[in-house]
Amino acid sequence: MSGPKPPPPERFNTGDMGRDWDARARACAREYILTGFADRPDDFARSGQAAAESLLAFCPPGAVVLDLGCGVGRVARELEPHVGEIHAVDVSEEMIRQAREYVGPGSRIRFQVNDGFMLAHLADGKVDFAFSLLTMHHVTRAAFESYLGEVHRVLRPGGRFYFSVVSRDRSPAYEVDDGRDTFTGRAYADAELSALLRGRFEQVERWLADSGDGSWRVTYDNLLLRKAGPSVSP
C-alpha cells in the first residue's frame, strides 16, 4: 500500500475522493504512488519503464489501451510509443495536471479526470487492454464493483484487464471504514472476487506477491482477466 497513511478524511462522496488524492498529489505524488520514491525521480521513471515492458505482451499491435488510476503518467508515458492509442484516467485533477507536465508537449496520451466510478468518456467495446496498477485496492468497494462493470463495457470481446487487490485470505486481518478512508487498501476474499468477476471476466493468469513488513505486510492478488465471451482475435 503506497505512501504514508494520512489522517482519515471527513466522510466523503464522489468528489471527496478526488480532493483527497489532489492533496496527496500536491504533498508528493511520487511518494503516494510508490513508497520511498519521493527523492528518487530517476528510479521512479525507471519503474514506469519496467512496468510498461511487463504490460506490452498483453497489447496487440495498434492496441487501444486504458490506464485506470494513471497518477502522473508514470506507466502511460512509457507505453505510448508502443500502442495505437492510450487513455489515462484518474480521479485527481492534480494528478492529471502533473501527468501532462510529466509526459511533456506533443504527447498523444488522452488524459481524463473521472468521477471515481464511471468511464463515461469511453465508448462500448473500444479498448483492447486495460490495466490498473496500485489503484483498485485504494478505491471504495462500491467504486471497485462499478469499475469492473465499466471496464467490462469498454473492452472489446476478448479484451484483457490486469489489476491487483489485497488478498483477505492471505493477509493479516484489518478493517477499513469504507465511508471515510480513501487510502487504506481494501482486502478481498477469493470467494468475493469470484462472485464479482462471474459473468464478466475469465481468468487468464493469477499470481500472488507479498509486500511490506510488520503491520503493513500484505499479500497482493494479481489478476489478468479476459472479457467473457467470444474473442474477435487470438
DSSP assignment string, 155-215: EEEEEEEEEEEEETTTS------TTT-SSSPPEE-HHHHHHHHTTTEEEEEEEEEEE--GG
User: How far is C-alpha 185 from the chain's CA centre?
Assistant: 12
Distance CA 91, CA 68 (A): 9
Look up the CATH number of domain 14-227: 3.40.50.150
pLDDT digits (tens, 9 = 90+) for 130-173: 999 999 999 999 999 999 999 999 999 999 999 999 999 999 98
Q: How far apart are CA 88 and CA 232, in angstroms?
A: 24
C-alpha to C-alpha distances, 212 to 35, 36, 178, 219, 233, nearest whole angstrom: 10, 12, 22, 9, 39
What local confidence, expressed as pLDDT, does residue 212 receive? 81
Which stretches of the chain score pLDDT less than 50?
Answer: 1-13, 231-234
| Domain extents in the chain | 14-227
- What does the pLDDT read at residue 15? 61
pLDDT of residue 230: 55
Give the pLDDT of residue 149: 97
Check if the beta carbon of residue 162 is closer than 8 Å to that of residue 75. no
Strands (E), the chain: 64-68, 85-90, 110-113, 127-132, 155-167, 187-188, 201-211, 218-227
Q: Which three cell numbers stand for residue 10?
A: 471527513
Tally of helices (H runs) and strands (E runs) in the chain: 6, 8
**CB contact at 8 A, 141 and 193:** no
Closest CA to 218 of 155, 163, 148, 171: 171
Q: Which of 19, 3, 23, 1 is nearest to 11 (CA)?
A: 19
pTM of this prediction?
0.90
> What pLDDT score does 12 carry?
39
